[in-house]
Every structure is written in C-alpha cells, then in structure tokens.
C-alpha cells in the first residue's frame, strides 16, 4: 500500500512536468506499476475473503446458514405490477402476469399483408439457392462439418469439447 502511494505521488509530479519523451516513458512505467499494485491489492482482498469463508463458512455454523439462505433469495422476484399498477405477489399471480406479458410482447399486434414492406426489400436469394438451403443434411454434410470444427474450442455433447466426442466415436 505504501508503494502505491509513492507511485501516485510520482505520477502526479510527472503530470506537472513538461511532456517530453523521457517524461512520457516514465509516466507509462509508473502507470504500469500502479496497475500491478492494484492487482496485488485485489488478490490480497480476494484471498482474505476466501480465508474468511474457510474460517467461518465451511462449518455448520449460523454464518454458513445465513449465507446459504441469502443465496437462495438472491435474485428472487417478490412482486410484480400489472399495466394498471396493481401489485401481485403470489406465485400463481406472478406466473400468470409474466406469461401474459411475454405473450403480448412476442405476438403480432396487427395481422395483415406484409407485401408493402417486402416490396421494399431486394431479393438476394434465388429459387435454386433457396432449394439448396432447404434440403436435408446428409451424413457427409454432418461429417464434413464436424471435421472442420476445432476440437478444443466450443463444448460439444454434454458440455465436453469436440475432441472427447471424436475420440469416443460418438
């Protein structure tokens, strides 16, 4: 902490100087040093919090139970208001209100012809291109796609990387 304060004073002093290549280089070095000090301090507090959790939370104590209950209620919706401003708090009312809200949100407000809008959009996909896009995948298509995928990038079946699936013959 003491080193961080010295670096902050040094940075303040450097900002008050005439900027030349030497001063700008030193400013960069001091800022890097401040970033390292901030990382050290963050790591210190993270480790200290973990020690506190190990010390107080892993045993069957009231502290542990309070944390567990607090996590259970974190992010829970206790009440919703409808369009008229009425409050609802029962689970059935909350489910009904949320379902109605999203049904209204994701349903079309007017059923009618969209030709006016589609007429403004230039056709980019020809009939033969559309037929090609709509045809069923073949085993060769799937095999080719899997072979082109990076084996360790994205998770595949059941969250395992593709390498696992290739290696087991799934």
What mean pLDDT value characterizes the chain? 78
Mind listing the pLDDT tens digit for each residue in 85-106? 999 989 899 899 989 888 888 8
Lowest mean pLDDT among 12-16, 53-57, 71-75: 53-57
3-state secondary structure of 107: coil
0.75 surpassed by pTM: no
Mind listing the pLDDT tens digit for each residue in 36-54? 888 888 777 666 555 555 5
- What ranges do the domains of the chain cover? 2-73, 77-107, 137-170
Lowest mean pLDDT among 39-53, 74-88, 137-151: 39-53
What is residue 170's predicted lDDT score, i.e. its pLDDT?
Answer: 46
Confidence of residue 140 (pLDDT cuts 50, 70, 90): very high
10 Å CB burial of residue 93 (0-12, 13-18, 19+) is middle
Alpha-carbon 65 to chain mean position = 29
Which tokens sit at 142? Answer: 């799937």
What is residue 157's predicted lDDT score, i.e. its pLDDT?
Answer: 62
Stronger pLDDT, 11 or 67, i.e. the higher one: 11
What is residue 60's predicted lDDT score, i.e. its pLDDT?
Answer: 54
- Residue 101: CB atoms within 10 A of its CB come to 13
What is residue 64's predicted lDDT score, i.e. its pLDDT?
Answer: 57
Stronger pLDDT, 9 or 157, i.e. the higher one: 9
Answer whether residue 136 shows pLDDT above 90.
yes
């Amino acid at each position: 902490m003491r080193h961080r304060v010295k670096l902050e004073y040094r940075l303040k002093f450097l900002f008050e100087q005439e900027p030349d290549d030497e001063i700008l280089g030193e400013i960069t070095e001091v800022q890097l040093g401040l970033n390292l000090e901030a990382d050290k301090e963050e790591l210190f507090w993270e480790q200290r919090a973990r020690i506190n959790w190990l010390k107080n939370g892993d045993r069957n104590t009231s502290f542990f139970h309070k944390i567990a209950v607090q996590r259970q209620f974190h992010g829970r919706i206790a009440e919703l208001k409808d369009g008229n401003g009425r409050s609802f708090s029962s689970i059935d009312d909350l489910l009904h209100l949320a379902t109605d809200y999203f049904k209204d949100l994701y349903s079309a407000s007017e059923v009618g012809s969209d030709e006016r809008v589609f007429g403004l959009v230039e056709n980019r996909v020809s009939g033969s291109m559309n037929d090609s896009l709509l045809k069923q995948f073949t085993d060769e298509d799937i095999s080719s796609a899997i072979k082109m995928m990076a084996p360790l990038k994205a998770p595949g079946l059941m969250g395992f990387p593709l390498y696992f699936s290739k290696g087991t013959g799934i």
